[in-house]
Structure 1
């Protein structure tokens, strides 16, 4: 009789522990959803074109499409028309299947409009906020220079690695390699490798190209999660 009661007590205790663990998991998931406004877990594959996969990330980083928002984990895929984003302290680096690479610093937001290799001259990336670094690799089509839309100017690329983001009280653009035309409503300049410009609004022309110091370039790369 004593052995029977002991076995019954052990079974009930194990069941209670199991229920507590399950409840904690539910609470944790609910808290994550309530706090950040997205659901945890990997995205369900859909019929949109795959543009690349996550090569590096620091939490919190994710993607939104329509009304669906998901966390991004290492090796997760990103798709056409995804809005990629990061939060405080977050970073994200995506290796595109066309050979290009996109890096984002914290509190960044960018729309993947198109693939660089299939782009016809329109803006394939739309930067909505935060610092970024884009390396085109060998994916550009020379006949139609691809464009990146930023809050302060449109960038036309030629064999390019380019940084953009808030920097020293203005919006900075810096070219590590290749060539970039920086154009807004007030004018345009061309940046060659090693030079950058600053912008304040779309109605004020970019400053004339200037050489950025190694220290300034290092700070810019850090802002973009490089």
Structure 2
């Protein structure tokens, strides 16, 4: 069950010291360093936390902060989850990003400008992204994953490891999956598997409902 914004309940489950230690350890796995509360930030706001299960946070530079419902996320934040955490962000452009446990994703603001460069850099973990009304016909959003770059059109897409491969699945719309080995185009209901950056994605294949359910279970609903 996702937490609502009730810090008193959270701290009743562990002491402040233990809580701080867990946050420090999580931050050390990203860029190092941490802070209980982020200082006033003049970076561009990209969205806000809609759902979460702790631990989930964001790191910028050498400072990490724990995220709570309603907290803003900013350009160049490294979002992360640890210790079974999950996170869902509502972007200001109408898109939605969901992260499973042990995920790391870096945000940039190219989707809000004219550039066609990646606006999400998936470093690890499972994700689900719904582009909503965010797309521009001339420069569809792109997502950089560990094994390929995704170009999205009217899309809700999943990425993550289900078995021994890194899998991409399209819930709606269309996605081009491209790496150094080649490219495939996925329609709604199709998936592909990746093993590294130099090996082409497998041919598109319809996923059965059990596999789709496994992917959904990795992320906040």
Unaligned runs of 5+ in 1: 1-23
Q: Given the alignment of the two structures, is residue 157 of structure 1 paired with residue 152 of structure 2, yes or no?
A: yes
Question: How many correspondences in the alignment?
Answer: 203
More helix by share: 1
Cα offset, 1:218, TM superposition: 1.3
The equivalent of 1:223 in structure 2 is 218
The equivalent of 1:135 in structure 2 is 130
- CA offsets per residue over residues 88-133 of structure 1, 9 Å max, x none? 2100000001100000000000000225342521111000000000
The equivalent of 2:169 in structure 1 is 174
Cα offset, 1:187, TM superposition: 0.2
Given that residues 23 and 66 in structure 2 are in contact (C-alpha distance below 8 angstroms), is that contact kept between their aligned partners in structure 1? no
Unaligned runs of 5+ in 2: 1-13, 28-32
The equivalent of 1:58 in structure 2 is 53
Instruction: Summarize the alignment of residues 1-226 of structure 1 with structure 2, pairs less than 5 Å apart.
Output: 27-28=17-18, 31-32=21-22, 34-37=24-27, 39=34, 41-226=36-221
Quick one: structure 1 residues 35 and 75, their matched pair in 2 at CA, closer, same or farther if it must change by over 3 Å? same
Larger radius of gyration: 1
Q: Normalization by structure 2: what TM-score?
A: 0.86
Quick one: structure 1 residues 211 and 40, their matched pair in 2 at CA, closer, same or farther if it must change by over 3 Å? same
Structure 2 distance, partners of 1:34, 1:117, is 32
Structure 2 distance, partners of 1:210, 1:28, is 46
Q: Normalization by structure 1: what TM-score?
A: 0.84
Quick one: structure 1 residues 220 and 26, their matched pair in 2 at CA, closer, same or farther if it must change by over 3 Å? closer
